Amino acid sequence: MLSKIFCSTAFLLCVAFFDQKVQAQGLGIFDNQTDVGTIKHPGSAQYDAKTQQYQLSGSGQNIWATHDDFHFVWKRMKGDFILRTNAAFIGKGVELHRKVGLMVRSTLDSNSKHINAVVHGDGLTSLQYRKTVSGITEEKKAGVTAADVIQLERKGNTYTMSVARKGDLFVTEEVSDLDLGDEVYVGIFICSHNADVTEKATFSNVRIVVPAPATLVPYKQYLGSSIELLDLDTQNSTIIYQSPRSLQAPNWMKDGKSLIYNSEGSLYKYDLKTNTPTALNTEPAKNNNNDHVLSFDGKQLVISSGDGGPSIGYTVPVTGGQAKRITATGVGASYMHGWSPDGNYIVFCGERNKEYDVYRIPSAGGPEERLTNTPGLDDGPEYTPDGKYIYFNSVRGGLMQVWRMKADGSEQTQITNDDYNNWFPHISPDGKWIVYITFLKNEVSPGDHPFYKHVFLRVMPAAGGPSKVVAYLYGGQGTINTPSWAPDSKHLAFVSNSDLLFPVFPKEK
């Protein structure tokens, strides 16, 4: 489709040295830690570079009224940003109103103007803020209690709290016209609500995102990218690689040791042991987009490439080599999405006569067969591991939703039906689960899947049942365009985005 991207390799060499392995140390993404206010028992923070989790301990009488006493781990920042974490107390605790959360402060003074998204020991979840120095703290209570996931976003002088219990979608509260100054302290905090007590909490999935500016030109200008690996059991995600370039669509290889991703028109093999990317030869396909899929036996890739014209499908050995064209030229764009388990067919989204539908073609090349024919966009087709079904996403009902059909195109059935736009269903290797990406309908039109939006990754049972959110992130185009399951069906690879104005993690030595 038109929003699929074709990237130039012209700047590849000049920016390659900026690519980063994640080798976090010290306080990870933060600058420092401080006990704010009057503290009888000093707080502390430990950072685990392997899990990228923080453990905070701290005391403090309260964060309320005209002054605050607590432990704060912070970074100085300017402009707009998004803070996010999963936070959990350790142990039963003493006070019902002990607090953990995210905070933005003008200064480190106890009476500073500030705003915080906070979860209390008794489950109260709220947005609390002080508008003036030494002013009285105000509060907006969230529509959910005992939130596990906390997000606090600044856009100018407007602050939005988004919170959820793990697995649920966000609910929000907002405060506008809160002037904390351009340069502020942002971070994570803990308060025991009792000057004589020290409490502990764990913070995972801690992110500071610098979003796209309003002036960014889509598909011409790009933010930085992070490749993340998500453990579905713990829902803890670790960043393994970062770049100021656009990295997209990580594909887990069948041996579980490497990923395939694309960037600026080239495909790369990323070694998970050495954290090293290596470019793959795909000649004559030089301008590859983010629609590339491994065959079920792991020996071949089908890729989508366009050199100043519509996207064309090619097959190429997974180790790289001469690419073989399999789709026709002059008929419209072809975006490749799925192999049949027996390796005989490939399904793709084809633009023919200004309509986008799902097509099937022999993997060796040959006549294409149209499998869907409803008006509007049908995209992202992918076979189930048993080869009986093809999942895809379709806008035919108004919003983009996940659908399923038999391998011959019959019995087309809607699978998701909610008030969001759902894209790119991917079936786990064991056939038990489906992951897909969700866009907010107030941010994105149903037929589009752009970069740099608030999105969720959701998982649902393949046999049917409710979906649950497994990742909350800033991304979109390129996040999971391709099948991204690990061979064990317990992990996912995906891409998130941020303007890397500062090194989120230390640069590669």
**Residue 401 neighbours by CB under 8 Å, 6+ apart:** 393, 394, 395, 414, 415, 416, 417, 418, 422
CB atoms inside a 10 Å sphere around CB 89: 17
493 and 252 Cβ atoms separated by less than 8 Å: yes
195 and 69 Cβ atoms separated by less than 8 Å: yes
Residues 356 and 402 in one domain: yes
Assess if residue 159 is contained within a domain. yes
Question: Closest by alpha carbon to 226, among 495, 481, 502?
Answer: 495
Residues 184 and 283 in one domain: no
Residues 348 and 227 in one domain: yes
Number of residues written out for the chain: 509
Q: Is the model's pLDDT at 239 over the cut of 80?
A: yes
Q: What is the model's pLDDT at position 5?
A: 39
Assess if residue 399 is contained within a domain. yes
**Residue 214 neighbours by CB under 8 Å, 6+ apart:** none
Residues 174 and 271 in one domain: no
Assess if residue 503 is contained within a domain. no
Assess if residue 343 is contained within a domain. yes
Q: What is the model's pLDDT at position 223?
A: 97
Residues 127 and 255 in one domain: no
Q: What is the model's pLDDT at position 261?
A: 98
Residues 193 and 216 in one domain: no
219-235 pLDDT, tens digit each: 999 999 999 999 999 99
Residues 331 and 390 in one domain: yes
DSSP assignment, residue 506? Answer: P
Residues 329 and 186 in one domain: no
249-282 pLDDT, tens digit each: 999 999 999 999 999 999 999 999 999 999 999 9
Question: Closest by alpha carbon to 290, among 95, 487, 112, 479?
Answer: 479
Helix (H) or strand (E) holding 14: helix 12-16
Assess if residue 1 is contained within a domain. no
What domain range is 342 assigned to? 12-21+211-498
450-471 pLDDT, tens digit each: 999 999 999 999 988 999 999 9
Strand order in the sheet with 453-461: 421-427, 433-439, 453-461, 468-475
Strand order in the sheet with 99-105: 32-36, 70-77, 184-191, 99-105, 114-120, 125-130, 138-141
Q: Is the model's pLDDT at 66 over the cut of 50?
A: yes
Q: What is the model's pLDDT at position 307?
A: 78
447 and 376 Cβ atoms separated by less than 8 Å: yes
Residues 161 and 219 in one domain: no
User: What percent of the chain is modeled with pLDDT above 90?
Assistant: 91
- Grade residue 1 by pLDDT with cuts at 50, 70 and 90: very low
Residues 197 and 252 in one domain: no
Q: What is the model's pLDDT at position 500?
A: 82
Residue 73 tokens, joined: 């781990």
* Cα of 167 vs its chain's centroid, Å: 15
Q: What is the pTM of this model?
A: 0.94
322-367 pLDDT, tens digit each: 999 999 989 999 999 999 999 999 999 999 999 999 999 999 999 9
- Grade residue 298 by pLDDT with cuts at 50, 70 and 90: very high
Q: What is the model's pLDDT at position 501?
A: 58
Q: What is the model's pLDDT at position 94?
A: 97
Q: Is the model's pLDDT at 299 over the cut of 70?
A: yes
Last residue of a domain, one of 190, 209, 228: 209
Residues 324 and 403 in one domain: yes
74 and 96 Cβ atoms separated by less than 8 Å: no
What is the per-residue DSSP string for 35-83?
A: EES--SS--EEEEETTTTEEEEEE--S-EETTEE-EEEEEEEE-S-EEE
Assess if residue 476 is contained within a domain. yes
Last residue of a domain, one of 143, 178, 209: 209
CATH code of 196's domain: 2.60.120.200
DSSP assignment, residue 221? Answer: S
143-189 pLDDT, tens digit each: 999 999 999 999 999 999 999 999 999 999 999 999 999 999 999 99
Mean pLDDT of the chain: 93
Residues 139 and 193 in one domain: yes
Helix (H) or strand (E) holding 16: helix 12-16
Q: What is the model's pLDDT at position 270?
A: 97
Q: How many structural domains comprise the chain?
A: 2
Q: Is the model's pLDDT at 502 over the cut of 80?
A: no
33-62 pLDDT, tens digit each: 999 999 999 999 999 999 999 999 999 999
DSSP assignment, residue 308? Answer: S
Assess if residue 283 is contained within a domain. yes
Q: What is the model's pLDDT at position 20?
A: 42
Assess if residue 505 is contained within a domain. no
Q: Is the model's pLDDT at 10 over the cut of 60?
A: no
Last residue of a domain, one of 154, 182, 209: 209
CATH code of 271's domain: 2.120.10.30
- 495 forms beta bridges with 227
